[in-house]
Homo-oligomer: A and B are copies of this chain.
Amino acid sequence: MTTRNSTAEPAPLGVAVVGAGYWGPNLIRNFRGSPAWDLVAVCDLDTERASAVVGARSGVLVTDDLAEVLGRDDVHAVAIATPARSHRPIAEAALAAGKHVLVEKPLADSVAAGEAMVEAARAAGLVLMADHTFCYTPVVRKIRELVTTGQLGEILFVDSVRINLGLVQPDVDVFWDLAPHDLSVLDHILPDGLRPLGVSAQGADPIGAGKPCVGYLSLPLTGGALAHVHVNWLSPTKIRQMVIGGSERTLVWDDLNPQQRLSVFDRGVDLVQQTVDSADRRTASISYRLGDTWAPALPEREALAEMVAEFAAAIHEDRPPATDGAAGLRVLAVLEAAATSLRANGAQVQVAAPAPTLELIR
């Protein structure tokens, strides 16, 4: 997705990063290191913090004035790394100023806000990209390839665990903080994107933080498959693992094992035949495959470097990026449905279909 035109490399695009807190410095480092980009400015209300990130002896503009940034002609794009509730106003201002926009996950703090952003970008003919960073890791790209080429067969189940001792966020719960990672990966690798038949959510706030700190999502998929996500801020042991069971093969992505991040098991359970006996009970005849395990070699590339390259490529090629606004909206739709399910004691709720126009832009 990051093909480069080697015959005539376009001139670097100017970019400004808004927000120099937790995630901004990562964006800053990668825009700086990319031949496709020229980091022009960093904008943060705390200019001292922004200056420290930019470093001494630097010609990058540091300012707390968004209008100043948006007024510059050498800024072609804006990357937003601020709290989720401010994504919409900043994005709308940037789009209004004719800038392409990259937004840290989640795209917005509600489906409605996200839809407004997507519509604004569509109307302006500008690129709106969700920074679903994990989708640009070598491991997720390989997983997508394995799924797309049918090597797993049909998806039977997905189990994703993302737990560690995490920073209890002031503004969002554990679902909105962590699950966008799992959901954006699911959206990226499932053949039809993330379109569950429903959402059930279980949450707990055993420390009295005022919001769920432990959470589980169940997402029934078409064909009887089930996806499940476990997010947890309170676990002192860190686990980041996704198991994707397929009818042909099953893969395990263990993100904390850099020596073997991805394992593909040619092993599984097959339903050989199914009979119905006199008492009308179905009896399945099961067979097991106990084959080899295979760990594909993965290139060592930084996901964010791929992501900023894709942002530039989408702009140059005037096309939606691999993780576009619609992808961001599908993630938001599940998060909102989960919040509804939580209030209903875990009952399964429908996921709102995105507005029709949104689908068109994909």
List residues of chain A with CB under 8 Å of any chain B CB. 32-33, 38-39, 55-60, 154, 156-157, 159, 161, 163, 165, 167-168, 170, 200, 202-210, 213-214, 216, 218, 220, 223-226, 228, 230, 232-238, 243, 245, 247, 250, 252, 256, 258-260, 263, 265-271, 274, 281-284, 286, 288, 290-297, 345-348
Residues of B within 8 A of A165 (CB): 267-269, 288, 290
Residues of B within 8 A of A204 (CB): 156-157, 220, 224-226
Q: Which 6 A-B pairs have the closest CB atoms?
A: A57-B59, A204-B226, A236-B265, A156-B206, A293-B295, A236-B267
Bound complex: CA A348 to CA B56 (Å): 52
Kindly identify which residue among B161, B284, B293 contacts A294, using a CB–CB cutoff of 8 Å.
B293
Would you call A282 and B210 a contact (CB within 8 A)? yes
Residues of B within 8 A of A58 (CB): 57-59
Give the Cβ gap from A249 to chain B, nearest Cβ, in Å: 9
Residues of B within 8 A of A286 (CB): 167-168, 209
Closest to A270 in B: B207
Would you call B250 and A170 a contact (CB within 8 A)? no
Question: Beyond A204-B224, A259-B237, is A292–B290 a contact (Cβ under 8 Å)?
Answer: no
Give the Cβ gap from A244 to chain B, nearest Cβ, in Å: 10
Bound complex: CA A270 to CA B269 (Å): 40
Give the Cβ gap from A27 to chain B, nearest Cβ, in Å: 15
Give the Cβ gap from A338 to chain B, nearest Cβ, in Å: 13
Give the Cβ gap from A50 to chain B, nearest Cβ, in Å: 14
Q: How many copies does the complex hold?
A: 4
Would you call B234 and A250 a contact (CB within 8 A)? yes
Give the Cβ gap from A17 to chain B, nearest Cβ, in Å: 13
Would you call B237 and A265 a contact (CB within 8 A)? yes
Would you call B235 and A274 a contact (CB within 8 A)? no
Would you call B295 and A234 a contact (CB within 8 A)? no
Bound complex: CA A237 to CA B253 (Å): 11
Bound complex: CA A216 to CA B218 (Å): 9
Kindly identify which residue among B170, B206, B209, B259 contacts A157, using a CB–CB cutoff of 8 Å.
B206
Residues of B within 8 A of A203 (CB): 226
Residues of B within 8 A of A234 (CB): 156-157, 245, 250, 268-269
Of the listed residues A154, A232, A247, A286, the one surrounded by the most CB atoms of chain B closer than 10 A to its CB is A286
Would you call A202 and B228 a contact (CB within 8 A)? yes
Bound complex: CA A236 to CA B245 (Å): 8
Query: Can you show 6 pairs from A to B with CB atoms below 8 A apart?
Result: A157-B206, A163-B243, A204-B226, A205-B224, A210-B282, A292-B297
Bound complex: CA A352 to CA B204 (Å): 23
Would you call B57 and A170 a contact (CB within 8 A)? no
Question: Beyond A156-B234, A157-B234, A295-B292, is A245–B345 a contact (Cβ under 8 Å)?
Answer: no
Residues of B within 8 A of A167 (CB): 286
Give the Cβ gap from A278 to chain B, nearest Cβ, in Å: 16
Closest to A200 in B: B346
Give the Cβ gap from A241 to chain B, nearest Cβ, in Å: 8
Beyond A237-B252, A263-B295, 5 extra complex contacts between A and B, CB < 8 Å = A58-B59, A207-B247, A214-B226, A228-B230, A295-B295
Give the Cβ gap from A64 to chain B, nearest Cβ, in Å: 19
Would you call A202 and B218 a contact (CB within 8 A)? yes
Give the Cβ gap from A247 to chain B, nearest Cβ, in Å: 7
